[in-house]
């Protein structure tokens, strides 16, 4: 898995027990998953009292790194060995790897209900027209 140096550094900080004890690691990891899964989630998840002692810049950096890795792992449908290999490369210990894997499994996209879509013919035609307009706009923009 290829991730930027910025993401790798944030992830390595997250792996460091001196920076994030077991409790703060768990809180930040869950906050990263929650912020990706819930459109209503905001930065308030990082305002947890147990995270107050961590520099906000470091906290946001590690949160962004975790969220980026979660997205990349989901995009590649990573299995446990793939996740473990990358996490080991970032100096995660076995306890944190197991916690990450458990959290990853618990929030797997297959565990969420499918989205249903319904509309009448007029709304569908309107949507198709807007999509065609958007497609043409992108086509023109890419030719510039």
Q: Nearest CA to 66 among 110, 31, 97, 94? A: 31
Does residue 112 surpass a pLDDT of 60?
no
Instruction: Output phi, psi for 112, to 5 deg.
Output: -105, 145
Contact 11, 62 (CB under 8 A): yes
Does residue 111 surpass a pLDDT of 60?
no
- Which pLDDT score, from 0 to 100, does residue 13 have? 92
Band (132; pLDDT cuts 50, 70, 90)? very high
Residue range 11-22: mean pLDDT, rounded: 90
Does residue 81 surpass a pLDDT of 70?
yes
pTM: 0.70
Span between the terminal Cα atoms of the chain, in Å: 32
Rounded to an integer, what distance in angstroms lies between the CA atom of residue 75 and that of residue 93?
24
Distances (CA, A) of 34 to 17, 122, 126: 22, 36, 34
In the chain, where the domains are located: 5-111
């Amino acid at each position: 898995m290829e991730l930027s140096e910025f993401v790798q550094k944030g992830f390595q900080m997250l792996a460091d027990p001196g920076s994030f004890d077991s409790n703060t690691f768990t809180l930040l990891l869950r906050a990263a998953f929650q912020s990706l899964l819930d459109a209503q989630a905001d930065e308030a998840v990082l305002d947890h009292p147990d995270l107050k002692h961590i520099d906000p810049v470091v906290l946001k950096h590690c949160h962004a790194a975790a969220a980026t890795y979660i997205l990349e792992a989901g995009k590649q449908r990573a299995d446990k060995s793939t996740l473990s290999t990358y996490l080991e490369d970032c100096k995660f210990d076995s306890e944190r790897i197991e916690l990450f894997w458990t959290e990853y499994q618990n929030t797997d996209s297959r565990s969420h209900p499918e989205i249903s879509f319904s509309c009448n013919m007029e709304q569908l035609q309107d949507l198709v027209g807007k999509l065609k307009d958007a497609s043409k706009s992108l086509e023109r923009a890419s030719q510039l």
